[in-house]
Every structure is written in C-alpha cells, then in structure tokens.
Chain A
Amino acid sequence: MKKFVFILPFLFSVFGCKTKPPKEVTVPEKQIDKVNFFMETSASMAGYFNGPTEFVKDIPNLLVDIEGKELGGKGPLRIYYVADSLTLYTKTTKDFIRDISTTRVANEKSSEMHKILEMIASKTDSTDISIFVSDCILSYPDDVIKTNSEINKQKAPGELKALVKATFLKLKRNNISASLYGFNSAFFGNYYTYQNAKIKLSGEQRPYYLWVIGNKELITKFNKQLTNVNNFKPVIDLNFGLFDKTIEDYQTFFTYEREGEWEPKDKGISNLKASKKKSSSFAIAVDLSALPNSISTPDYLNKHLKTSSENLDFKVKNILLTKDVDKSKLKPREKEYLENNTHVIVIEVTDIYKDNAKIELNLPLVYDNTYKDLSTMDDRSLDSIPGKTFAFEHLIDGVREAYENSNENFIHISIPVKK
C-alpha cells in the first residue's frame, strides 16, 4: 500500500495540469501610455474659435470622449498650445475647454507647418498618441512673403512640399505613422490669403484638420477606437504609414461557414471534394487594419478584389467585417481569430480538377486622390475659400511620398488547395 503514495503525485500532476501545449510566444500588445493634444494657436486659427462654430462644439466633446477612456491613455491629456513654439497648458482639460470658449487663444504668429510637426514629433514618445488640430495651410513666414508675395504659390509644390516630406521621412524612420481627419466648421474672422492679405469671413464653412501621430501599432488601435466615438464623422480620413507590406496572411476557420468535405492543413486546404452538384465552402479571416478605411469597406472589396485560380473553380461568396460575424456559430478558438483580424472572406469552391490547386485573391494598390478636391492654389477670392485649403494637395503629396512603398497590391492572398 505504500506504493499508492507514490502514484498520487503522478495523478495530481496530470489532472492539475491546465497549461496548454506550448504555443508561439506572442509579443505583448503595446498600450497607449498618454495622449498629447496640440492646439494650433496662430492667428489664422482665430476664426474657428469665434462664435457658434462646429469647431468649439466638436473639439471639447472630442477631448471629453478621449480623456479617461482607454484610448486616452493612463492619465489626463497633456495639452499644448503650438504656434512658433510649444506652450504646455498646465491647467486641467476642463479649464482648457473653458479657456478656448472664452478667451482669445489664437493670436500667435504663424509658423511653418513642417516646423510645428517636428516639434510635435519630438514630444511624442513611442507609447504616446499626439493629436494636432490645425488648418493645415502651407505657408512661408510673413517676412518672406513680404519680399515675394507669390512665393507661396510658386514654392508650394517644390520647397514647401519637400520640407513636409523630409519631416515625415524622419517620422517614418522612427516608426511613426500619421492619420489625418478633416472636418468642416463655420469660420468667423480673418482669413489670410496666400499673399497674406486679410479677407473677413462670417460663418463660411472652412475645413480644419486633426492629425493623429504616433507609433504605427498604436495608431491603428487608436483609430479603431476613434470610430466608436460619438459624432466623430470626418469628411475625409487619410492614413499614412500604416500600410507598408502587402497583406498575405490569413487564418482558416475550421467550422465557421464550413460546407462540403475538406480538411484544414497548415494554412491551406486539403482533401477537398468539390463538384458542380456539391460544392465546398470555407472562410478565412484577414487583418486589413493597415488599409485605408475607404479601401477596407466590404463594398469596395467586393468590387475591386481580383480573383484567380489554378486547377479549380471558385467564387467569393461573402465578405464581412469581423464585428458583424455571428459569434454563436464559432468555436472558442475561432473567436480568437476575430480579435486579430478585421474581415472574413467566405469562399466557395465549385470544382477541382487536379491534385494541387490554388486560390488567389489580389487587391491592387490604388491611392485615394479625393483629397485633391479639397485643395486650392488661389484663395484670393471669397468664393474660392469655403471647403478648401490652400496647397492642401501638396501637403498631402509630401506626406504620401514620404511613406510611399513599392507594393503593387494591398492584398495578395494565395491559398493552396489539395484534392
């Protein structure tokens, strides 16, 4: 009977062992440590603050929605005024909201956009998100315009754009990406043309912009959560630096949308039986968070996703967002797929001819150029101002070029299929 004592520890170790067999080590996810908020306070911004503008309504709401929530990081927002230098705002966010509604804050000298962006970048740690509110007007300093009143128009496509590009190249090297959101707001006050002439506006709609700058991974997270914020409805949203590598990875669901006979094997499918009478279906999950929002809508994908195949016939049955997937149909491990991916593609195979076949899904890389509609190179007359920003297209071109990559496709997924 002494020998039973010897058996017991054995039993405990087996039954008590709840650890899974070793999986790949996952890098812990980066968390947002703090959010910096930079408000441009050059004189050209004053018109947004005056009177009943969307600006004074939306900005405070945004601040309140960010601070204290997960996307706001661990502590309160760090608020700065930025013009030709950074001024840390030492009071609370509530005080700030009151200040911008009541006092004159925007009366500083203007500064060059690229310099401001550099200052902001220097304040952004790798665990930070920095939000910058600006009117994004590219311009030389006042004294330079005095010597040449056309210099903005002449040099915007050249030097100004190059300066922006250089700034963002530096950011890219530090793994910093950027998103840009555009909104419209009523503007009461002086508008400075490219020649630095004043034009008075009384409530015309002018765009203002929100830069979101930070580490690539954090930006993706932040952006996802921004879309959940109430009333966050930008008229334009652009991503820079989030997409740098063609998406090739996918995960195959083993029960969701499963029809017909097949076995998952490594990444692909094997032992697939399919015929016109009896087809087989399977679903894959993909992470398209790096794609610009306009590209990653199911509609766009359905229209533009190119399919090709070797030795089999198939079609894309459905494309849906992971948040729209009916979780009750999933096995617990499949639910994990939803956490790391954004879209689910359901594929139906209608015939397979040979033992070794392939399914290919391609989404060619295209740039969304709608931002050019928001740009103007001549803002001297009143009717050319509303809804447009001077030299916006060059600003965006500069940023885009800094982050450009040579990928041909957004998505290139290749699924091996065996009979």
Chain B
Amino acid sequence: MFEFLYELLCGQNPDPIFATDIYPFVGLFTLIFALAFAFIFYIVLGRSRPIWDKTVHWVITMVILLIIAFGFAYNNAQTVTEESENSFFYKFAMVNTLYAFIYYVIFSLIFKRFSIFAKRTPF
C-alpha cells in the first residue's frame, strides 16, 4: 500500500529495493510516528495537564514530526541502497514529509475529540 503512495508522487525507481524494502518500512514507521505524535499530543499530554495544548504547541509538534519524517526517509534510503547521495532521496524525503503532514492532520482530527485540554486545537 505504501509502494503505491510513494510511487504515485516519486515515480518508479529502477532499484526494486525501494518497493520491496524502503517504501514499506519508511511508510509504516512514518505512519506510526505520526500516530504516536498525535496520540501523545492529544491523549497523553492533552488529557493530563493544560501545558502543551495550544495551536502553537501543535505546530511545534508537527514541525518536529516533519523533521523526523524527512531525516528518517533520507537516512533509510541512503542506508539500504548503500548510496551516499542521490537527488531521488531528497524527493523521497520531501514526499514522506508531505505524507507525514497528512497523517498527522488526519490523526489530529481523530484524536482531538478524545482530548480534554487540546480538544479545540488547532480549531
């Protein structure tokens, strides 16, 4: 499923290891990171104390997530293909960042109704 998502925006890479290894791994873990971040923001923090619950905090959390998504994708592509640098890696990392953003927004919408203090964040 992740292969489809990445190939949609990145195009096909001749190296098959992207489709067999990199896309599923990065895709799954990016999804998990986004879920974890949203979960921690809304449920773990958002139900215990009104300290990290406002829009600015949500944005900061998202930015951290996006940085991780970018770095993780780039790093993984680099490690698995054993190549040091490739413009395709940047593209892949950007696309992964985009998907991380989308996942985060979707999970935010799902989790915010279960939050207490962050229930109206970001809107």
Q: Is A7 an interface residue (CB 8 A)?
A: yes
A7 to B36, CA, bound (A): 12
Q: Are B16 and A21 in contact (CB under 8 A)?
A: no
Q: Which chain B residue lies CB-closest to A16?
A: B75
Given contact pairs A3-B45, A258-B14, A264-B16, A21 touches B21 in the complex (Cβ within 8 A):
yes
Q: List CB contacts (< 8 Å) of A318-369 with chain B.
A: 331-333
Q: Are A331 and B16 in contact (CB under 8 A)?
A: no
What is the minimal beta-carbon distance from B79 to any residue of chain A, in angstroms? Answer: 5
A254 to B17, CA, bound (A): 10
A254 to B76, CA, bound (A): 19
Given contact pairs A18-B79, A333-B82, A255 touches B45 in the complex (Cβ within 8 A):
no
Residues of A within 8 A of B75 (CB): 14-15, 17-18
Total count of chain A residues near the partner, CB < 8 A:
20
Total count of chain B residues near the partner, CB < 8 A:
22
A21 to B25, CA, bound (A): 8
A263 to B15, CA, bound (A): 8
Q: List CB contacts (< 8 Å) of A37-93 with chain B.
A: none
Q: Are A20 and B12 in contact (CB under 8 A)?
A: no
Q: Which of B14, B25, B64, B80 is most buried by chain A, counting CB atoms within 10 A of its CB?
A: B14
Q: Which of A3, A18, A265, A332 contacts B81 (CB 8 A)?
A: A332
Q: Are B80 and A21 in contact (CB under 8 A)?
A: yes
- Interface flags for A1-43 (1: CB within 8 Å of B; 0: not) read 0010001001100110111110000000000000000000000
Q: Is B8 an interface residue (CB 8 A)?
A: no
A332 to B15, CA, bound (A): 11
What is the minimal beta-carbon distance from B57 to any residue of chain A, in angstroms? Answer: 8
Q: Are A254 and B16 in contact (CB under 8 A)?
A: yes
Q: Is B72 an interface residue (CB 8 A)?
A: yes
A7 to B45, CA, bound (A): 13
Q: Are B45 and A332 in contact (CB under 8 A)?
A: no
What is the minimal beta-carbon distance from A46 to any residue of chain B, in angstroms? Answer: 57
Q: Which chain B residue lies CB-closest to A271?
A: B12
Residues of A within 8 A of B64 (CB): 7, 11
Given contact pairs A3-B45, A15-B75, A10 touches B83 in the complex (Cβ within 8 A):
no
What is the minimal beta-carbon distance from B32 to any residue of chain A, in angstroms? Answer: 12
Q: List CB contacts (< 8 Å) of A234-291 with chain B.
A: 254-255, 258, 263-265
Q: Are A14 and B68 in contact (CB under 8 A)?
A: yes
Q: Are A20 and B80 in contact (CB under 8 A)?
A: yes
Q: Which of B14, B68, B71 contacts A255 (CB 8 A)?
A: B14
Q: List CB contacts (< 8 Å) of A116-168 with chain B.
A: none
Given contact pairs A3-B45, A17-B75, A21-B80, A255 touches B15 in the complex (Cβ within 8 A):
yes
Residues of A within 8 A of B51 (CB): 3
Given contact pairs A3-B52, A254-B15, A255-B15, A331 touches B83 in the complex (Cβ within 8 A):
yes
Q: Which chain B residue lies CB-closest to A334?
A: B15
What is the minimal beta-carbon distance from B28 to any residue of chain A, in angstroms? Answer: 11
Q: Are B81 and A14 in contact (CB under 8 A)?
A: no
Q: Which chain A residue lies CB-closest to B74?
A: A15
Residues of A within 8 A of B82 (CB): 331-333
Residues of B within 8 A of A255 (CB): 14-15
Q: Which chain A residue lies CB-closest to B45?
A: A3
A123 to B6, CA, bound (A): 59
Q: Are A14 and B72 in contact (CB under 8 A)?
A: yes
A19 to B76, CA, bound (A): 9
Residues of B within 8 A of A14 (CB): 68, 71-72, 75
Q: Are A331 and B15 in contact (CB under 8 A)?
A: yes
Residues of A within 8 A of B15 (CB): 254-255, 331, 333
Q: Which chain A residue lies CB-closest to B57?
A: A3
Residues of B within 8 A of A17 (CB): 75
Residues of A within 8 A of B (CB): 3, 7, 10-11, 14-15, 17-21, 254-255, 258, 263-265, 331-333
Can you offer 23 A-B residue contacts whose CB atoms are under 8 A?
A3-B51, A3-B52, A10-B68, A14-B71, A14-B72, A15-B71, A15-B72, A18-B79, A20-B79, A21-B76, A21-B80, A254-B14, A254-B15, A254-B16, A263-B14, A264-B14, A264-B16, A331-B15, A331-B82, A332-B83, A333-B17, A333-B81, A333-B82
For the complex with contacts A11-B67, A254-B16, A263-B12, 16 further pairs of A-B residues with Cβ separation under 8 Å are A3-B52, A11-B68, A14-B68, A14-B75, A15-B75, A17-B75, A18-B75, A19-B79, A20-B80, A21-B76, A21-B80, A254-B14, A255-B14, A258-B14, A263-B14, A333-B15
Q: Which 7 A/B pairs are nearest by Cβ-Cβ distance?
A: A332-B82, A264-B16, A254-B14, A254-B15, A21-B25, A14-B72, A3-B52
